[in-house]
Structure 1
Amino acid sequence: MTMDVSYVARNVSIPDRFREYAQEKFSKIEQLSARAQRLEIKVTQQANHRHSDEKLTVELTVQGKGKVIRAEAQADDKFAAFDLAFGKLLERLRRLRDRQKDRQQKRVSVADATAVLPPTEPGQSLVEQAIANQASQEQADPGDRDEVPVRIRKKIFPATPVSVDDAVDAMELVGHDFYLFIDASSGQPSAVYRRKGWSYGVITLDADHPGAEVHEEDIDYRAATV
């Protein structure tokens, strides 16, 4: 097993039988994600004695090179919750692997990309040839550039307000460097983005106070569940 596995328990114990049950399934993660480096298994039960039948929550977080994939589920016991969360995790890892395969298949080799280029004249560099070709095209039809309008493509996506933590998870799931969302706590348009290392940033637009100064604060990821 090459992944580092850690267990976190909140208001509940994790017996050896549960650890053995989970370990039997770890190989499926490595099959779908060769870059998986760390797996955190968190089992939580609400500390509310008035509800003794409170369901347990199992959260699974896989960390790799530049990726964080997370899934969680609730059930009456920790084994059932683990199976539900593990199924969600495998599906997200499978989608991520398929997207990476699609990107690799769409990559064009240097030979294919330059196949349509005319041969370089002896004693003339590619840069010089490109400049000469551009100049000849402008002389042939100098009005083309002025007649081409500047186009802006606009897309509108439906948005469901989510928390900053969920926005980070969604960004990592799709593999982008940023993610636009509506902050559920404030209702304001925001964007999370990846910084250096395992750190993230979030930008929020406050249209209600246009004259206010820029406000900064540091928040912890999943602070409410730790």
Structure 2
Amino acid sequence: MKYNIRGENVEVTGAMKEYIEKKVSKLERYFDTPPASDVNVNLSVYKEEQKIEITIPMINLLLRAEEQHTDLYAAVDLVVDKLERQIRKYKTKVNRKSRQQGAAKHVFAEMEKEIDEDYDEDGFEVVRTKRFDLKPMDSEEAILQMDMLGHTFYVFTDAESGDTNVVYRRKDGKYGLIETS
């Protein structure tokens, strides 16, 4: 894995880089072959709170986690633990699903391309546009992807009907599904 470590309101020292690389590299044991993707790490400090955000985009999966703590090294430990839980949850769910339905052993993550735009035609400011391929999956897989990304909704193509659907997290902590026709 190649590491891209950036700091916001903090200078990234050699010791910080070494610690982060050492901790994140332990995640490689969960893969048959080590991922050849970039590991994007953003460190920031605001009012004595250390925040770390790690994103690992891979071909079939997007791992992302963030944590805040007063100690940067503790925040690194917490975020790596969170990523580890995500990987274990993902592997367990996919393995269970493949045993039940003979499904493929992976779930496709969205591939995002970010494009900044100034204004749309109505004068409202569009600050970020994302484009991604909708991969066929069922609602359970879409909820898993949404949780792993840390989002409150997820757009996907239903594997059975071929329609574009949306899963979302409700305020009561349960999930909702919006089906299109």
TM bin, normalised by shorter chain, reads: 0.5 to 0.7
Match of 1:7 in 2: 5
Distance, in Å, in 2 between the alignment partners of 1:87 and 1:14 is: 21
Q: Pick 1 or 2: higher relative contact order, CA cutoff 8 A, min separation 6.
A: 2
Contact kept? 1:167, 1:179, Cα under 8 Å:
no
| Deviation at residue 181 of structure 1 after TM alignment | 2.1
Distance, in Å, in 2 between the alignment partners of 1:178 and 1:43 is: 35
SS at match of 1:167: coil
| Deviation at residue 68 of structure 1 after TM alignment | 1.2
1:180 is the counterpart of 2:179: no
Contact kept? 1:35, 1:64, Cα under 8 Å:
no
| RMSD, aligned CA | 3.4
Contact kept? 2:154, 2:168, Cα under 8 Å:
no
| Equivalenced residues, count | 121
Distance, in Å, in 2 between the alignment partners of 1:97 and 1:84 is: 20
Distance, in Å, in 1 between the alignment partners of 2:7 and 2:94 is: 34
* Larger CA Rg, structure 1 vs 2: 1
Q: Which has the higher strand share?
A: 2
In the alignment, residue 45 of structure 1 is paired with which amino acid? V
Q: Segments of 4+ in structure 1 off by > 4 A?
A: 176-179
Between the two proteins, what is the percent identity of the paired residues? 20
- TM value normalised by structure 1: 0.45
Question: Aligned ranges for residues 1-226 of structure 1 at < 5 Å?
Answer: 3-33=1-31, 34=33, 36=35, 37-46=37-46, 51=47, 54-108=48-102, 166-167=150-151, 171=154, 179-181=166-168
Give CA-to-partner distance per residue, 1:21-56, whole Å, 9 cap, x none: 12222332112244742211110112xxxx4xx211
In the alignment, residue 5 of structure 2 is paired with which amino acid? Y
In the alignment, residue 9 of structure 1 is paired with which amino acid? G
In the alignment, residue 29 of structure 1 is paired with which amino acid? L
- TM value normalised by structure 2: 0.54
Contact kept? 1:35, 1:65, Cα under 8 Å:
no
Distance, in Å, in 2 between the alignment partners of 1:6 and 1:178 is: 34
For structure 2, the residue ranges without an aligned partner over 5 or more in a row are: 104-148
In the alignment, residue 53 of structure 2 is paired with which amino acid? E
Distance, in Å, in 2 between the alignment partners of 1:183 and 1:7 is: 34
In the alignment, residue 40 of structure 1 is paired with which amino acid? N
